[in-house]
A = this chain, B = another copy of it.
Amino acid sequence: MRHLKDFQFIEAVIRAGSIRKAAEDMNITASALNRRINRFEEDFGYEIFERLPRGVRLNPAGELMLHHIRAQRSDFVRLQSQVADLSGVRRGHVSIACSQALLPYFLPEQIARYRSEHPGVSFGVNVRDRLEAERELSTFASDIALVFEPRHLVDFEVTLSVAQQIYVVMRPDNPLAGQTELRLRDCLAHPHVAPSAQYGVRVLLDTAAKKTTYGRIRPLVESESFDFMRHYVIHENAISFQFPIGLDLSGAQGYVARPLSLRDVEPGNLLLGQLRGRTLPVASARFVQQLAQALQTPAG
């Protein structure tokens, strides 16, 4: 779109860090790009770049401008999606920032279901921890976030919150597998692996462990990958902790999962959200509706 061209050039300059490099990237002369930037700043009334000896950098006004540019583009995409919806063609793109746990079962199923009704809609799925997911929303890099226990919540507008009990994952022949619900002290007495500190599961476990005689959890292996940990406990007969939405509870995957008693460990909250105050494109908004419905249905 014509009227967004200046914005594209500005973003290119921000990315490249200098007008000359950006000019190369955009297949244009440095002088032409330089003049576009200067003219834009003149029209706007304020400079948005600091001129440094090695290039340019955004000044505070430029930071605000960058946010404005992203918001404008995002709103324009939303408009196009709305208009496309008018003419009956549902098209669009939905980008999601989510926790690992949603990858194996939940999101593939939901996306496939949505796409079976609206084949014109494409998806982007990115794994982000709860801090990154919020940042991703505020830069308009993702439309939707689906994460456990996000932190700040200032720019994060919660559409739906679902409590998830922590489950213990182990081999079927593990002695703990016989119980239908596990106590934390029994688990901590067993060899266990655990996610690293930035994950919600770990935070909940650490908090709960402080109240036991063990004081803290002592993982044999610490990992950022729940996939890895799930497989690890099959090889060394240990136990692992995870939210059930990322688990196959049927036992067909070579592991069993048992809930950890709510008397010992608080449940985690899986939060579905978007950037506060933002109006999502039609496709994203409908997908959020579908997700919300699916998450509220107390299925496996």
Residues of chain A at the chain B interface (Cβ within 8 Å): 1-7, 39-40, 43-46, 60-61, 64-65, 68, 71-72, 75-76, 79-80, 82-84, 86-87, 277-279
Q: Is the interface of A mostly helix, strand, loop or mixed?
A: helix
Q: Knowing A71-B75, A72-B72, A277-B279 are in contact, say whether A2-B40 is a contact too (CB < 8 A).
A: yes
Q: Which of chain B's residues has its CB closest to A45's CB?
A: B80
The list of the 10 closest CB pairs from A to B, nearest first, reads A3-B3, A61-B83, A277-B277, A68-B79, A46-B83, A64-B82, A1-B43, A60-B86, A3-B6, A2-B43
**Can you list 23 pairs linking A and B with CB atoms under 8 Å apart?**
A1-B43, A2-B6, A2-B39, A2-B40, A2-B43, A3-B4, A3-B5, A44-B80, A45-B80, A45-B83, A46-B84, A61-B83, A61-B86, A61-B87, A64-B79, A64-B86, A65-B79, A65-B83, A68-B75, A68-B76, A71-B75, A277-B278, A277-B279
Which residues from B are CB-within-8-Å of A44?
A: 1, 80
Which residues of the other chain, B, contact A72 by a CB distance below 8 angstroms? 72, 75
Q: How far is the CA of A277 from the CA of B285 in the complex (A)?
A: 15
Closest B residue by C-beta to A82: B64
CA of A72 to CA of B13 in the docked complex: distance in angstroms? Answer: 23
Please state if B46 and A87 are interface contacts (CB–CB under 8 Å). Answer: yes
Q: How far is the CB of A143 from chain B (nearest CB, A)?
A: 15
User: How far is the CB of A174 from the nearest CB of chain B, in Å?
Assistant: 50
CA distance A279 to B72 in the complex (A): 13
Residues on B with C-beta less than 8 A from A7 are: 3
- Chain B neighbourhood of A79, CB < 8 A: 64-65, 68
A3 to B65, CA, bound (A): 14
